[in-house]
Structure 1
Amino acid sequence: MRLVIATCSVDYLGRLTAHLPLATRLLLVKADGSVLVHSDGGSYKPLNWMSPPCRLSVAEPSEVEAAEGTTAVWVVLAGTGRGPKAAAATPDQLRIRIHEVLHDSSHDLGVDPGLVKDGVEAHLQALLAEHITTIGPGYRLVRREYMTAIGPVDILCRDADGGHVAVEIKRRGEIDGVEQLTRYLELLNRDPHLTTGGPVRGVFAAQEIKPQARTLATDRGITCLTLDYDALRGADDPLQRLF
Protein backbone atom coordinates (compact mmCIF):
# COMPACT_ATOMS: atom_id res chain seq x y z
CA MET A 1 0.00 0.00 0.00
CA ARG A 2 1.25 3.47 -0.88
CA LEU A 3 0.41 6.37 1.44
CA VAL A 4 0.81 9.90 0.16
CA ILE A 5 -0.04 13.01 2.15
CA ALA A 6 -0.24 15.88 -0.27
CA THR A 7 -1.77 19.26 -0.92
CA CYS A 8 -3.99 18.56 -3.90
CA SER A 9 -7.23 19.17 -5.71
CA VAL A 10 -9.34 16.36 -7.09
CA ASP A 11 -11.78 16.07 -10.00
CA TYR A 12 -13.96 13.08 -10.86
CA LEU A 13 -14.98 13.12 -14.52
CA GLY A 14 -17.29 10.80 -16.47
CA ARG A 15 -20.88 9.77 -15.89
CA LEU A 16 -20.88 12.32 -13.08
CA THR A 17 -18.55 15.11 -12.04
CA ALA A 18 -17.29 16.12 -8.62
CA HIS A 19 -14.65 18.57 -7.45
CA LEU A 20 -12.56 18.79 -4.28
CA PRO A 21 -10.82 22.17 -3.89
CA LEU A 22 -7.17 22.47 -2.94
CA ALA A 23 -6.45 21.03 0.52
CA THR A 24 -4.11 18.65 2.32
CA ARG A 25 -5.36 15.06 2.02
CA LEU A 26 -4.30 11.43 2.37
CA LEU A 27 -4.07 9.48 -0.89
CA LEU A 28 -4.16 5.68 -0.64
CA VAL A 29 -3.05 3.48 -3.52
CA LYS A 30 -3.87 -0.11 -2.62
CA ALA A 31 -2.37 -3.30 -4.00
CA ASP A 32 -5.69 -4.15 -5.68
CA GLY A 33 -5.31 -0.99 -7.78
CA SER A 34 -7.91 1.13 -6.02
CA VAL A 35 -7.16 4.79 -5.30
CA LEU A 36 -8.85 6.56 -2.38
CA VAL A 37 -8.80 10.19 -1.29
CA HIS A 38 -9.26 10.78 2.45
CA SER A 39 -9.57 13.85 4.63
CA ASP A 40 -8.89 14.04 8.37
CA GLY A 41 -12.61 13.58 9.10
CA GLY A 42 -15.51 11.50 7.87
CA SER A 43 -14.41 8.33 9.66
CA TYR A 44 -13.62 5.48 7.25
CA LYS A 45 -15.35 6.89 4.16
CA PRO A 46 -13.14 8.46 1.47
CA LEU A 47 -14.04 11.80 -0.12
CA ASN A 48 -13.60 10.26 -3.54
CA TRP A 49 -12.19 7.05 -4.96
CA MET A 50 -11.76 4.81 -7.97
CA SER A 51 -12.44 1.10 -7.52
CA PRO A 52 -10.50 -1.59 -9.40
CA PRO A 53 -10.01 -2.42 -12.17
CA CYS A 54 -8.31 0.88 -12.89
CA ARG A 55 -4.90 2.21 -13.85
CA LEU A 56 -2.90 5.05 -12.30
CA SER A 57 -0.49 7.11 -14.38
CA VAL A 58 1.39 10.31 -13.58
CA ALA A 59 1.40 13.13 -16.13
CA GLU A 60 3.15 16.44 -16.39
CA PRO A 61 0.90 19.41 -15.61
CA SER A 62 -0.28 21.66 -18.40
CA GLU A 63 1.03 25.21 -18.60
CA VAL A 64 -2.13 26.48 -16.92
CA GLU A 65 -1.92 23.84 -14.17
CA ALA A 66 1.78 24.55 -13.62
CA ALA A 67 1.06 28.25 -13.34
CA GLU A 68 -1.46 27.43 -10.61
CA GLY A 69 1.17 25.49 -8.64
CA THR A 70 0.53 21.92 -9.80
CA THR A 71 3.69 19.82 -9.85
CA ALA A 72 2.18 16.53 -11.08
CA VAL A 73 -1.17 15.14 -12.17
CA TRP A 74 -2.35 11.69 -11.18
CA VAL A 75 -4.74 10.28 -13.76
CA VAL A 76 -6.73 7.24 -12.65
CA LEU A 77 -8.68 5.61 -15.50
CA ALA A 78 -11.52 3.22 -14.75
CA GLY A 79 -11.94 -0.17 -16.36
CA THR A 80 -8.43 -0.41 -17.73
CA GLY A 81 -7.19 -3.25 -15.56
CA ARG A 82 -6.59 -6.83 -16.62
CA GLY A 83 -9.14 -9.62 -16.64
CA PRO A 84 -12.81 -9.86 -17.71
CA LYS A 85 -13.83 -6.63 -15.98
CA ALA A 86 -11.47 -4.67 -18.23
CA ALA A 87 -13.98 -5.04 -21.06
CA ALA A 88 -16.47 -2.98 -19.08
CA ALA A 89 -14.37 0.15 -19.50
CA THR A 90 -16.05 3.46 -18.75
CA PRO A 91 -14.90 6.99 -19.52
CA ASP A 92 -14.71 7.73 -15.79
CA GLN A 93 -11.45 9.14 -14.51
CA LEU A 94 -10.07 10.62 -11.34
CA ARG A 95 -7.66 13.53 -11.77
CA ILE A 96 -5.59 14.47 -8.76
CA ARG A 97 -3.52 17.63 -9.14
CA ILE A 98 -0.59 17.45 -6.71
CA HIS A 99 0.81 20.77 -5.47
CA GLU A 100 3.06 19.61 -2.64
CA VAL A 101 3.94 16.15 -1.31
CA LEU A 102 4.39 16.07 2.47
CA HIS A 103 4.82 12.32 2.83
CA ASP A 104 5.22 9.38 0.43
CA SER A 105 5.78 5.81 1.60
CA SER A 106 4.97 2.27 0.52
CA HIS A 107 4.30 -0.71 2.78
CA ASP A 108 3.73 -4.41 2.05
CA LEU A 109 0.86 -5.42 4.31
CA GLY A 110 0.82 -9.05 3.21
CA VAL A 111 -2.28 -11.23 3.02
CA ASP A 112 -4.99 -10.14 5.43
CA PRO A 113 -6.61 -13.02 7.36
CA GLY A 114 -9.97 -11.23 7.42
CA LEU A 115 -12.23 -10.11 10.22
CA VAL A 116 -12.78 -12.53 13.09
CA LYS A 117 -15.86 -11.44 14.98
CA ASP A 118 -16.06 -11.88 18.71
CA GLY A 119 -19.38 -13.14 19.97
CA VAL A 120 -20.50 -14.90 16.79
CA GLU A 121 -23.00 -17.73 17.07
CA ALA A 122 -20.30 -20.43 17.27
CA HIS A 123 -18.72 -18.67 20.26
CA LEU A 124 -22.07 -18.23 21.96
CA GLN A 125 -22.91 -21.87 21.38
CA ALA A 126 -19.64 -23.08 22.90
CA LEU A 127 -19.98 -20.80 25.92
CA LEU A 128 -23.61 -21.70 26.56
CA ALA A 129 -22.79 -25.39 26.29
CA GLU A 130 -20.01 -24.89 28.84
CA HIS A 131 -22.36 -22.97 31.15
CA ILE A 132 -25.53 -24.89 30.40
CA THR A 133 -27.10 -23.99 33.77
CA THR A 134 -27.47 -20.47 32.40
CA ILE A 135 -30.70 -21.81 30.89
CA GLY A 136 -31.86 -23.10 34.24
CA PRO A 137 -30.76 -24.97 37.40
CA GLY A 138 -30.17 -28.67 36.90
CA TYR A 139 -29.81 -28.49 33.12
CA ARG A 140 -27.42 -31.01 31.52
CA LEU A 141 -25.84 -30.91 28.07
CA VAL A 142 -26.69 -33.79 25.73
CA ARG A 143 -24.69 -32.54 22.76
CA ARG A 144 -23.96 -29.56 20.54
CA GLU A 145 -24.95 -29.58 16.87
CA TYR A 146 -27.58 -32.30 17.32
CA MET A 147 -28.24 -33.40 13.77
CA THR A 148 -31.74 -33.64 12.31
CA ALA A 149 -32.96 -34.27 8.79
CA ILE A 150 -33.27 -30.52 8.19
CA GLY A 151 -30.07 -29.38 9.87
CA PRO A 152 -28.32 -29.31 13.24
CA VAL A 153 -29.93 -28.04 16.42
CA ASP A 154 -27.41 -25.78 18.14
CA ILE A 155 -27.76 -27.43 21.56
CA LEU A 156 -29.78 -30.36 22.84
CA CYS A 157 -29.95 -30.61 26.61
CA ARG A 158 -32.08 -31.99 29.45
CA ASP A 159 -33.83 -29.97 32.09
CA ALA A 160 -33.89 -30.77 35.82
CA ASP A 161 -36.84 -33.14 35.28
CA GLY A 162 -35.10 -35.07 32.50
CA GLY A 163 -37.07 -33.58 29.61
CA HIS A 164 -35.25 -32.70 26.39
CA VAL A 165 -34.80 -29.07 25.41
CA ALA A 166 -33.69 -27.78 21.99
CA VAL A 167 -31.81 -24.48 22.00
CA GLU A 168 -31.44 -22.25 18.96
CA ILE A 169 -28.76 -19.56 19.30
CA LYS A 170 -28.50 -16.29 17.39
CA ARG A 171 -26.55 -13.08 17.86
CA ARG A 172 -29.70 -11.14 16.99
CA GLY A 173 -32.95 -12.98 17.50
CA GLU A 174 -35.50 -12.34 14.77
CA ILE A 175 -38.64 -14.04 13.48
CA ASP A 176 -36.68 -16.28 11.08
CA GLY A 177 -34.85 -17.81 14.05
CA VAL A 178 -38.11 -18.60 15.81
CA GLU A 179 -39.44 -20.22 12.65
CA GLN A 180 -36.26 -22.28 12.36
CA LEU A 181 -36.56 -23.53 15.94
CA THR A 182 -40.25 -24.31 15.39
CA ARG A 183 -39.33 -26.60 12.47
CA TYR A 184 -36.71 -28.36 14.60
CA LEU A 185 -39.21 -28.90 17.42
CA GLU A 186 -41.80 -30.37 15.09
CA LEU A 187 -39.24 -32.88 13.87
CA LEU A 188 -37.72 -33.68 17.28
CA ASN A 189 -41.14 -34.34 18.79
CA ARG A 190 -41.66 -37.16 16.29
CA ASP A 191 -38.74 -39.06 17.85
CA PRO A 192 -40.05 -41.29 20.67
CA HIS A 193 -36.56 -41.52 22.21
CA LEU A 194 -36.65 -37.77 22.89
CA THR A 195 -40.18 -37.51 24.20
CA THR A 196 -40.06 -40.10 27.00
CA GLY A 197 -39.91 -37.27 29.55
CA GLY A 198 -42.55 -35.21 27.77
CA PRO A 199 -42.52 -33.04 24.61
CA VAL A 200 -39.24 -31.51 23.54
CA ARG A 201 -39.33 -27.85 24.58
CA GLY A 202 -37.61 -24.98 22.83
CA VAL A 203 -35.37 -22.16 24.03
CA PHE A 204 -34.60 -19.25 21.73
CA ALA A 205 -31.34 -17.67 22.94
CA ALA A 206 -29.73 -14.50 21.59
CA GLN A 207 -27.80 -11.43 22.67
CA GLU A 208 -30.73 -9.34 21.49
CA ILE A 209 -34.25 -10.55 20.73
CA LYS A 210 -36.55 -8.42 18.61
CA PRO A 211 -40.01 -7.75 20.14
CA GLN A 212 -41.80 -9.41 17.22
CA ALA A 213 -39.65 -12.54 17.59
CA ARG A 214 -40.27 -12.64 21.35
CA THR A 215 -44.02 -12.36 20.80
CA LEU A 216 -44.04 -15.18 18.22
CA ALA A 217 -41.87 -17.40 20.41
CA THR A 218 -44.08 -16.87 23.45
CA ASP A 219 -47.17 -17.65 21.36
CA ARG A 220 -45.59 -20.96 20.34
CA GLY A 221 -44.55 -21.92 23.85
CA ILE A 222 -40.86 -21.25 23.22
CA THR A 223 -38.82 -19.73 26.06
CA CYS A 224 -36.70 -16.67 25.21
CA LEU A 225 -33.29 -16.24 26.81
CA THR A 226 -31.16 -13.10 26.46
CA LEU A 227 -27.46 -14.00 26.53
CA ASP A 228 -24.83 -11.81 28.17
CA TYR A 229 -21.70 -12.65 26.18
CA ASP A 230 -19.27 -10.95 28.58
CA ALA A 231 -20.79 -12.73 31.55
CA LEU A 232 -20.63 -16.11 29.79
CA ARG A 233 -16.93 -15.75 29.04
CA GLY A 234 -16.18 -14.52 32.54
CA ALA A 235 -15.29 -10.96 31.57
CA ASP A 236 -18.20 -9.47 33.48
CA ASP A 237 -19.99 -10.58 36.62
CA PRO A 238 -23.58 -9.24 36.71
CA LEU A 239 -23.61 -9.70 40.51
CA GLN A 240 -20.80 -7.13 40.87
CA ARG A 241 -22.60 -4.36 38.94
CA LEU A 242 -23.87 -1.26 40.69
CA PHE A 243 -26.53 -0.78 37.98
Structure 2
Amino acid sequence: MRLVIARCQVDYVGRLTAHLPLARRLLLVKADGSVSVHADDRAYKPLNWMSPPCWLTEGKAEDGERALWVVTNKAGEELRITIEDIEHDSSHELGIDPGLVKDGVEAHLQELLAEHVETLGQGYKLVRREFMTAIGPVDLMCRDADGASVAVEIKRRGDIDGVEQLTRYLELLNRDPLLAPVTGVFAAQQIKPQAKTLAVDRGIRCLTLDYDALRGTESNEFRLF
Protein backbone atom coordinates (compact mmCIF):
# COMPACT_ATOMS: atom_id res chain seq x y z
CA MET A 1 0.00 0.00 0.00
CA ARG A 2 1.25 3.47 -0.92
CA LEU A 3 0.29 6.51 1.17
CA VAL A 4 0.79 9.98 -0.28
CA ILE A 5 -0.16 13.22 1.46
CA ALA A 6 -0.17 15.99 -1.12
CA ARG A 7 -1.63 19.32 -2.09
CA CYS A 8 -3.56 18.40 -5.21
CA GLN A 9 -6.59 18.90 -7.38
CA VAL A 10 -8.62 16.00 -8.77
CA ASP A 11 -10.68 15.76 -11.95
CA TYR A 12 -12.83 12.78 -12.90
CA VAL A 13 -13.56 12.39 -16.61
CA GLY A 14 -16.02 9.72 -17.72
CA ARG A 15 -19.76 9.25 -17.89
CA LEU A 16 -19.93 12.29 -15.60
CA THR A 17 -17.37 14.93 -14.66
CA ALA A 18 -16.34 15.97 -11.16
CA HIS A 19 -13.77 18.41 -9.83
CA LEU A 20 -12.03 18.71 -6.46
CA PRO A 21 -10.19 22.03 -6.11
CA LEU A 22 -6.67 22.36 -4.77
CA ALA A 23 -6.31 21.14 -1.15
CA ARG A 24 -4.27 18.82 1.10
CA ARG A 25 -5.46 15.24 0.72
CA LEU A 26 -4.46 11.63 1.29
CA LEU A 27 -3.92 9.56 -1.86
CA LEU A 28 -4.22 5.84 -1.25
CA VAL A 29 -2.88 3.33 -3.79
CA LYS A 30 -3.64 -0.29 -2.91
CA ALA A 31 -2.04 -3.51 -4.12
CA ASP A 32 -5.23 -4.42 -6.00
CA GLY A 33 -4.65 -1.37 -8.22
CA SER A 34 -7.36 0.85 -6.74
CA VAL A 35 -6.66 4.54 -6.18
CA SER A 36 -8.73 6.68 -3.80
CA VAL A 37 -8.63 10.30 -2.64
CA HIS A 38 -9.42 11.09 1.00
CA ALA A 39 -10.05 14.19 3.12
CA ASP A 40 -9.83 14.43 6.89
CA ASP A 41 -13.54 13.70 7.33
CA ARG A 42 -16.27 11.43 5.86
CA ALA A 43 -15.01 8.50 7.99
CA TYR A 44 -13.65 5.83 5.62
CA LYS A 45 -15.40 7.11 2.48
CA PRO A 46 -13.17 8.63 -0.24
CA LEU A 47 -13.90 11.89 -2.04
CA ASN A 48 -13.27 10.14 -5.33
CA TRP A 49 -11.78 6.84 -6.41
CA MET A 50 -11.14 4.38 -9.23
CA SER A 51 -11.81 0.70 -8.65
CA PRO A 52 -9.73 -2.07 -10.25
CA PRO A 53 -8.98 -3.06 -12.89
CA CYS A 54 -7.31 0.29 -13.50
CA TRP A 55 -3.86 1.60 -14.33
CA LEU A 56 -1.86 4.45 -12.80
CA THR A 57 0.49 6.52 -14.96
CA GLU A 58 2.69 9.18 -13.37
CA GLY A 59 3.87 12.09 -15.49
CA LYS A 60 3.94 15.88 -15.72
CA ALA A 61 1.08 18.36 -16.05
CA GLU A 62 0.90 20.70 -19.04
CA ASP A 63 2.85 23.37 -17.18
CA GLY A 64 5.81 20.95 -16.95
CA GLU A 65 6.25 21.62 -13.24
CA ARG A 66 3.48 19.86 -11.37
CA ALA A 67 3.16 16.08 -11.25
CA LEU A 68 0.15 14.47 -12.89
CA TRP A 69 -1.30 11.07 -12.02
CA VAL A 70 -3.71 9.61 -14.56
CA VAL A 71 -5.71 6.59 -13.40
CA THR A 72 -7.57 4.87 -16.25
CA ASN A 73 -10.05 2.00 -16.06
CA LYS A 74 -11.07 -0.48 -18.76
CA ALA A 75 -13.99 1.75 -19.79
CA GLY A 76 -11.58 4.60 -20.59
CA GLU A 77 -12.68 6.75 -17.66
CA GLU A 78 -9.94 8.81 -16.03
CA LEU A 79 -9.12 10.11 -12.57
CA ARG A 80 -6.63 12.93 -13.14
CA ILE A 81 -4.73 14.03 -10.01
CA THR A 82 -2.61 17.15 -10.42
CA ILE A 83 -0.10 17.36 -7.57
CA GLU A 84 1.37 20.70 -6.55
CA ASP A 85 3.37 19.52 -3.55
CA ILE A 86 4.04 16.19 -1.80
CA GLU A 87 4.49 16.20 1.97
CA HIS A 88 4.68 12.45 2.52
CA ASP A 89 5.15 9.42 0.26
CA SER A 90 5.62 5.95 1.71
CA SER A 91 4.94 2.34 0.72
CA HIS A 92 4.03 -0.47 3.11
CA GLU A 93 3.70 -4.24 2.66
CA LEU A 94 0.66 -5.36 4.63
CA GLY A 95 0.73 -9.03 3.59
CA ILE A 96 -2.29 -11.28 3.14
CA ASP A 97 -5.24 -10.23 5.26
CA PRO A 98 -6.88 -13.07 7.23
CA GLY A 99 -10.31 -11.60 6.49
CA LEU A 100 -13.20 -10.56 8.65
CA VAL A 101 -13.90 -12.72 11.71
CA LYS A 102 -17.66 -12.94 12.01
CA ASP A 103 -19.46 -12.75 15.31
CA GLY A 104 -21.20 -15.82 16.71
CA VAL A 105 -24.66 -15.14 15.32
CA GLU A 106 -23.38 -14.23 11.84
CA ALA A 107 -21.16 -17.31 11.66
CA HIS A 108 -24.03 -19.50 12.85
CA LEU A 109 -26.34 -17.98 10.24
CA GLN A 110 -23.86 -19.00 7.57
CA GLU A 111 -23.76 -22.58 8.89
CA LEU A 112 -27.54 -22.80 9.12
CA LEU A 113 -28.15 -21.37 5.65
CA ALA A 114 -25.58 -23.78 4.20
CA GLU A 115 -27.46 -26.66 5.85
CA HIS A 116 -30.84 -25.34 4.69
CA VAL A 117 -29.84 -23.92 1.32
CA GLU A 118 -33.38 -24.45 0.03
CA THR A 119 -34.24 -21.32 2.04
CA LEU A 120 -32.77 -19.42 -0.91
CA GLY A 121 -35.26 -21.01 -3.29
CA GLN A 122 -36.48 -24.32 -4.61
CA GLY A 123 -33.78 -26.32 -6.35
CA TYR A 124 -30.82 -24.41 -4.87
CA LYS A 125 -27.67 -26.43 -4.15
CA LEU A 126 -24.60 -25.49 -2.11
CA VAL A 127 -21.30 -25.46 -3.99
CA ARG A 128 -19.06 -24.28 -1.16
CA ARG A 129 -18.91 -22.18 1.99
CA GLU A 130 -16.27 -19.42 2.17
CA PHE A 131 -15.71 -19.42 -1.60
CA MET A 132 -12.42 -17.54 -2.00
CA THR A 133 -11.91 -14.55 -4.30
CA ALA A 134 -8.92 -12.25 -4.71
CA ILE A 135 -10.43 -9.81 -2.20
CA GLY A 136 -11.85 -12.24 0.34
CA PRO A 137 -14.29 -15.12 0.72
CA VAL A 138 -17.91 -15.11 -0.38
CA ASP A 139 -20.03 -16.63 2.40
CA LEU A 140 -21.81 -19.15 0.17
CA MET A 141 -21.45 -20.10 -3.46
CA CYS A 142 -24.56 -21.88 -4.72
CA ARG A 143 -26.32 -22.94 -7.90
CA ASP A 144 -29.98 -22.29 -8.52
CA ALA A 145 -32.50 -24.68 -10.05
CA ASP A 146 -31.22 -23.84 -13.54
CA GLY A 147 -27.59 -24.48 -12.55
CA ALA A 148 -26.60 -20.79 -12.61
CA SER A 149 -24.03 -19.50 -10.08
CA VAL A 150 -25.31 -17.49 -7.12
CA ALA A 151 -23.07 -15.72 -4.58
CA VAL A 152 -24.61 -15.19 -1.13
CA GLU A 153 -23.38 -12.63 1.38
CA ILE A 154 -24.75 -13.08 4.92
CA LYS A 155 -25.00 -10.40 7.60
CA ARG A 156 -26.70 -10.09 10.94
CA ARG A 157 -27.70 -6.54 10.06
CA GLY A 158 -27.63 -5.66 6.39
CA ASP A 159 -26.46 -2.16 5.48
CA ILE A 160 -25.02 -0.40 2.45
CA ASP A 161 -21.48 -1.57 3.21
CA GLY A 162 -22.62 -5.20 2.91
CA VAL A 163 -24.19 -4.50 -0.49
CA GLU A 164 -20.99 -2.80 -1.64
CA GLN A 165 -18.98 -5.81 -0.45
CA LEU A 166 -21.17 -8.24 -2.41
CA THR A 167 -21.00 -5.96 -5.46
CA ARG A 168 -17.19 -6.18 -5.44
CA TYR A 169 -17.34 -9.97 -5.15
CA LEU A 170 -19.77 -10.20 -8.07
CA GLU A 171 -17.57 -7.98 -10.23
CA LEU A 172 -14.65 -10.36 -9.73
CA LEU A 173 -16.65 -13.59 -10.00
CA ASN A 174 -18.25 -12.53 -13.27
CA ARG A 175 -14.80 -12.29 -14.88
CA ASP A 176 -14.46 -16.07 -14.51
CA PRO A 177 -15.99 -17.70 -17.62
CA LEU A 178 -16.50 -20.94 -15.68
CA LEU A 179 -18.79 -19.15 -13.20
CA ALA A 180 -20.38 -16.31 -15.14
CA PRO A 181 -23.05 -15.18 -15.11
CA VAL A 182 -23.10 -14.90 -11.30
CA THR A 183 -26.04 -13.28 -9.53
CA GLY A 184 -26.12 -12.19 -5.90
CA VAL A 185 -28.27 -12.68 -2.82
CA PHE A 186 -27.89 -10.37 0.17
CA ALA A 187 -29.20 -12.23 3.23
CA ALA A 188 -29.56 -10.79 6.73
CA GLN A 189 -31.79 -10.83 9.78
CA GLN A 190 -32.49 -7.15 9.24
CA ILE A 191 -31.88 -5.17 6.04
CA LYS A 192 -31.91 -1.39 6.12
CA PRO A 193 -34.20 0.26 3.52
CA GLN A 194 -31.29 2.15 1.92
CA ALA A 195 -29.35 -1.10 1.55
CA LYS A 196 -32.35 -2.84 0.00
CA THR A 197 -32.82 0.00 -2.49
CA LEU A 198 -29.15 -0.13 -3.51
CA ALA A 199 -29.21 -3.92 -3.81
CA VAL A 200 -32.30 -3.92 -6.03
CA ASP A 201 -30.76 -1.21 -8.21
CA ARG A 202 -27.73 -3.46 -8.75
CA GLY A 203 -29.76 -6.57 -9.50
CA ILE A 204 -29.06 -8.20 -6.13
CA ARG A 205 -31.89 -10.09 -4.43
CA CYS A 206 -32.50 -9.43 -0.74
CA LEU A 207 -33.54 -12.15 1.68
CA THR A 208 -34.55 -11.58 5.31
CA LEU A 209 -33.49 -14.50 7.49
CA ASP A 210 -35.44 -15.85 10.47
CA TYR A 211 -32.73 -17.09 12.82
CA ASP A 212 -35.13 -19.08 15.04
CA ALA A 213 -36.83 -20.71 12.06
CA LEU A 214 -33.47 -21.79 10.65
CA ARG A 215 -32.59 -23.30 14.02
CA GLY A 216 -35.95 -25.06 14.08
CA THR A 217 -37.00 -23.31 17.30
CA GLU A 218 -39.63 -20.79 18.29
CA SER A 219 -38.63 -17.45 19.75
CA ASN A 220 -38.81 -17.18 23.54
CA GLU A 221 -39.64 -13.46 23.40
CA PHE A 222 -42.96 -12.31 24.81
CA ARG A 223 -45.29 -11.05 22.10
CA LEU A 224 -48.48 -8.98 22.23
CA PHE A 225 -49.93 -10.73 19.17
Instruction: State the Cα distance separating 1:77 from its structure 2 match.
Output: 0.6
Task: Indicate the residue corresponding to 1:161 in structure 2.
Answer: none
SS at match of 1:42: coil
Match of 1:76 among 67, 71, 74: 71
State the TM-score, normalizing by the size of structure 1. 0.48
In structure 2, how many angstroms separate the alpha carbons of the residues matched to 1:123 and 1:178? Answer: 9
Question: What is the alpha-carbon distance in structure 2 between the residues aligned to residue 34 and residue 171 of structure 1?
Answer: 28
What displacement does 1:119 show? 3.7
- Cα 1:181–1:4 shift into 2, 3 Å: closer
Which of residues 85, 89, 102 in structure 2 aligns to 1:117?
102
CA contact (8 A) 2:38 2:47 kept: yes
TM norm structure 2: 0.52
Question: 1:118, CA displacement in angstroms?
Answer: 2.9
Would the alpha carbon gap of residues 171 and 60 (structure 1) be closer, same or farther in structure 2, given more than 3 Å must change?
Answer: closer
1:180-199 alignment, distance < 5 Å: 180=213, 184=216
Deviation of residue 51 (structure 1)?
0.3
Inter-CA distance 176–44: structure 2 relative to 1 (3 Å threshold):
closer
Task: List structure 1 segments (4+ residues) > 4 angstroms apart after TM superposition.
Answer: 121-124, 170-176
What percent of counterpart residues are identical? 57
Contact 1:5 1:103 (8 Å CA) reproduced = yes
Matches within 5 A, 1:3-152: 3-63=3-63, 66=64, 71-79=66-74, 90-122=75-107
**Residue of structure 2 equivalent to 1:128:** none
Is this contact kept in 2: 1:36–1:50, CA < 8 A?
Answer: yes
Query: Alignment RMSD, CA only?
Result: 3.4
Q: Secondary structure at the match of 1:97?
A: strand
3-state DSSP of counterpart to 2:219: strand
2:210 pairs with one of 177, 192, 196 = 177
How far is the alpha carbon of 1:121 from its aligned partner?
A: 4.6
CA distance in 2, matches of 1:39, 1:78: 23
1:28·1:37 contact (CA, 8 Å) conserved in 2?
yes
Change (3 A) 1:26 1:177: same
What letter matches 2:70 in structure 1?
Answer: V
Give the distance between the partners of 2:106 and 2:76, measured in 1 at CA: 45
**Distance in 2 separating the partners of 1:26 and 1:77:** 19
Q: Which structure has the bigger radius of gyration?
A: 1
C-alpha separation in 2, matches of 1:60 and 1:176: 54
Check whether the contact 2:7–2:25 (CA below 8 A) recurs between aligned residues. yes
Counterpart amino acid of residue 219 in structure 2: F
Q: Residue 204 of structure 1 corresponds to which residue in structure 2? A: 219
Q: Which amino acid aligns with 2:213?
A: Q
SS in 1 for 2:210: helix
* Structure 2 alignment gaps of length 5 or more: 110-114, 120-154, 158-188, 191-207
